[in-house]
């Protein structure tokens, strides 16, 4: 991961040419939050995931006790809040995968652009847990109710199939097209007043209902750990 600074915006590259999909362990989650907090709040922020995000590190999670799972969920939820509350515009550009915690990260963005073949989903339910980084909240805020089947059934679908979910602002043919849209977006942002963008974002965030605290939601997530179902399903996933 690395951040590139331009006069007009930041680009947070989650992976680059030849790399595998990002796996989000606790170090990665902490690094993302700390990196964002170190940025100027006045420039737009682009998340660029050319090889996608495969989700959380199941090997790291499988033997967590409830307190460890609670702290892990808090860490991820605060990362998503850090993205969602960034004062300037946050735009995500993704290919290949947005699974589990990766989709939760993406849902923290203001705008999302993905390739047709980008696979999205919340497979947590097939691992004996639930989305732990505010994914259920952000689906309710940003998406059509039909998207809840991603959570309830653990489905993984291509982004093209999910146009009717309203999760993505644009679906393009391939990564080259994503690059074109990114360049066009830079030009479009330059036409706008950054002060106006900051005010719109502040206005928008003030109207989003947040029921209960992050801590209470992380506690719900952690209650599924130390159960036989969670251990068995995660170990089966690791072996596969």
Rounded Cα gap, residues 101 and 109, in angstroms? 13
Question: Counting every residue, how long is the chain?
Answer: 240
Residue 24, φ and ψ in degrees, nearest 5: -95, 95
Report pLDDT for 16: 64
CA-CA-CA-CA dihedral for 129, 79, 32, 187, to nearest 10: 120
SS3 144: coil
Q: Are 226 and 146 in contact (CB under 8 A)?
A: no
Q: What is the pLDDT of residues 82-106, one digit of tens each?
A: 999 999 999 999 999 999 999 999 9
CA-derived radius of gyration, the chain: 17
CATH class (in words) of the domain with range 2-190: alpha beta
Residue 22: predicted pLDDT: 94
Backbone angles phi, psi at 167, to 5 degrees: -80, -30
User: Distance (Å, rounded) from C-alpha 137 to C-alpha 24?
Assistant: 20
Among the listed residues 102, 101, 94, the one whose alpha carbon sits nearest the alpha carbon of residue 50: 94
* Residue spans per domain, the chain: 2-190
pLDDT digits (tens, 9 = 90+) for 35-85: 999 999 989 999 999 999 999 999 999 999 999 999 999 999 999 999 999
| Active site members | 56, 101, 104, 124
Q: pLDDT for 152-180, tens place per residue?
A: 788 888 888 877 777 888 899 999 999 99
Looking at residues 13-34, what average pLDDT do you find?
90
């Amino acid at each position: 991961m690395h951040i590139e600074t331009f006069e007009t915006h930041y680009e947070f590259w989650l992976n680059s040419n030849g790399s595998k999909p990002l796996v989000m362990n606790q170090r990665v989650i902490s690094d993302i939050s700390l990196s964002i907090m170190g940025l100027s709040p006045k420039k737009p922020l682009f998340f660029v995931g050319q090889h996608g995000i495969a989700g959380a590190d199941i090997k790291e999670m499988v033997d967590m006790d409830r307190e460890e799972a609670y702290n892990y969920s808090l860490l991820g939820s605060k990362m998503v809040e850090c993205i969602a509350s960034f004062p300037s515009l946050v735009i995500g550009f993704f290919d290949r995968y947005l699974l589990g915690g990766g989709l939760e990260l993406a849902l923290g963005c203001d705008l999302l652009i993905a390739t047709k073949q980008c696979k999205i989903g919340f497979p947590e339910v097939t691992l004996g847990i639930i989305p732990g980084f505010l994914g259920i909240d952000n689906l309710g805020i940003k998406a059509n109710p039909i998207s809840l089947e991603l959570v309830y059934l653990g489905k993984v679908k291509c982004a093209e199939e999910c146009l009717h979910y309203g999760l993505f602002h644009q679906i393009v043919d391939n990564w080259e097209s994503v690059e074109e849209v990114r360049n066009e977006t830079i030009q479009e942002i330059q036409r706008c007043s950054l002060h106006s963008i900051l005010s719109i974002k502040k206005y928008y965030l003030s109207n989003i209902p947040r029921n209960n605290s992050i801590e209470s939601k992380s506690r719900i997530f952690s209650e599924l750990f130390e159960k036989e179902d969670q251990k068995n399903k995660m170990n089966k996933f690791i072996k596969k």
